Amino acid sequence: FGQYLEGASAEDWNLLYLGRSPTEGDWRMVSEHIVEPGYTLWTVAYVIKLDAARAFVERHVEKELAPLDHYFSVAMGRGLDLHWNEQAIEWAKYIPGVLRGLAVTPPLVMPYAGSMVLSDTAMLRS
């Protein structure tokens, strides 16, 4: 895990996906195993830095709920073209754009086989 963090060390990030399912192509390659992600669903594991956590607490984000993976993507300014989330522009009025995300590729964490059947976003898509 340390080598992945080294690959992200020159970047100003506050969210690092350890496991995810990209629905939109990555915006750019940062290092061999770190990318700047596009719209992401299936958030399995992540690291969030203190400044992002503080920003969420200060803005009382608990009052504006959405599925976590959509929430993170909108908080990174992704999905505003409505391709992956028809409500992204409306949600962006309430979800603070405070995340600067990166992602490990390939993922370090994967869900248990068959668990997608019970995922909140998988159920939204059906």
Closest listed residue to residue 88, CA positions, set 74, 107, 106, 69: 74
pLDDT tens sequence across 51-110:
999 998 998 888 877 888 888 999 999 988 888 888 889 989 988 899 999 999 999 898
Mean pLDDT of the chain: 85
What domain range is 90 assigned to?
2-125
Please give the residue that has the higher pLDDT: either 1 or 60.
60
Determine the average pLDDT of the residues in 41-55: 91
Residues whose CB is less than 8 angstroms from the CB of residue 9 and which lie 6 or more positions away in sequence, other chains included: none
pLDDT in tens, 108-119: 898 777 655 555
Contact at 8 Å (CB) between 12 and 57? no
The pLDDT assigned to 36 comes to 96
Q: What is the pTM of this model?
A: 0.83
pLDDT at residue 125 tops 60: no
How many percent of the chain have pLDDT more than 70?
89
Q: Give the tokens for residue 114.
A: 């068959």
Q: What is the separation of C-alpha 100 from the centre of its chain, rounded to a whole number of angstroms?
A: 9
Measured between alpha carbons, how far is 88 from 62 in angstroms, rounded to an integer? 17
CA distance 84 to 78: 9
